[in-house]
Amino acid sequence: MQTRSNNMLLSVIVPCFNEEEVILNTHKRLADVLSGISELDFEIIYVDDGSRDATLLILKDIQSGDKRVRVISFSRNFGHQVAVTAGLEYASGDAVVLIDADLQDPPEVILEMLDCWRQGADVAYGVRRYREGETVFKMWTAKAFYRLINRMSDVPIPLDTGDFRLMDRKVVDALLAMPERDRFVRGMVAWIGFRQEPVSYRRAPRAGGATKYPLVKMIRFATDGILSFSLVPLRLATGMGFAVAGLSVIGIIYALTLRLFTDIWVPGWTLLFIALLFIGGVQMVFLGILGEYLGRVYGEAKRRPLYLVKERLGFPENILFSASQRREDNS
């Protein structure tokens, strides 16, 4: 069995957006857990995703007192998945952990993930055995989403998982070599492969602040996951096209029969009206699906950077150069 050597560096990436109520507690728990790992050095990379509260000021205070802390501040809010990607680009660890700032994913679980990594796993991903403090609607929709995307995707994505995971350096490098703009990190990691092991844990309620994924963002995130990892919506459009064409043929035969063999063909306007509404509705739905895919092609073609950095704190110059070079290679 493959094992990992000692004296390596662990990078922990924490995306933050309006987390002033919890970020101090988050850092304390993270630092306490990571300081207890004597055989590994560590760095904590906080990515401020355009927070509008005091999150960035608190992060600056934390960094000034702890040289193991790095801070990246975006010019505006670019989104959670982009913040995760920025952290990966600046991380220099032999292994990298992704964890949210709200303490729903307990930092203590990182120790179990490290055990899996030491025993040869390339990815140790968290599986939410139980979700405290979440509504029945939120839990039901989350379960439905993961099962739906697994039925639609060509790549199996582990059920009931988020972005909380540990990844070996070779997995991180492979992930950064994937240049797409509409990023669904947990699906991308599943696509990469390598040896991936689950780590079950009990998800806690938020330690403070409000959720950053209200219903509209949840729907958008689900859409990103489905459209990024499945062609089923396009195939569904094709299948529905054939089905509607078949119904149209039946309608044509019916109309011709009424016209040629009966005297009641004029009153058939009701059937015609219904058919036109049905066909028009189906066309509009699938034009929308095609528009989503086309919009993503348009976004990729523009080749804009994923994010813009306003400020960076705590990084050595060689790390800044390496991160800049990776972005240029992916653009």
Joined tokens for residue 291: 């528009």
Strands 196-203 and 40-48: unpaired
- Please state the pTM of the whole predicted model: 0.68
Q: Beta strands of 122-239 (E only): which ranges?
A: 123-131, 161-168, 196-203
Averaged pLDDT, groups of 10, the chain, 331 residues long: 63 92 91 87 92 91 90 90 91 92 89 91 87 63 65 70 90 88 82 89 66 60 62 65 66 65 60 66 69 66 78 78 57 54
Look up the CATH number of domain 9-215+307-330: 3.90.550.10
Q: How many CB atoms neighbour CB 81 within 10 A?
A: 19
Measured between alpha carbons, how far is 73 from 304 in angstroms, rounded to an integer? 18
What is the model's pLDDT at position 255? Answer: 64
pLDDT at 330: 56
Rounded CA-CA distance 58/55 in Å is: 5
Domain spans of the chain, in order of start: 9-215+307-330, 232-302
**Residue 223 CA to its chain's centroid (Å):** 11
The per-residue pLDDT for 262 is 65
* pLDDT score of 44: 94
For residue 46, the model assigns a pLDDT of: 96
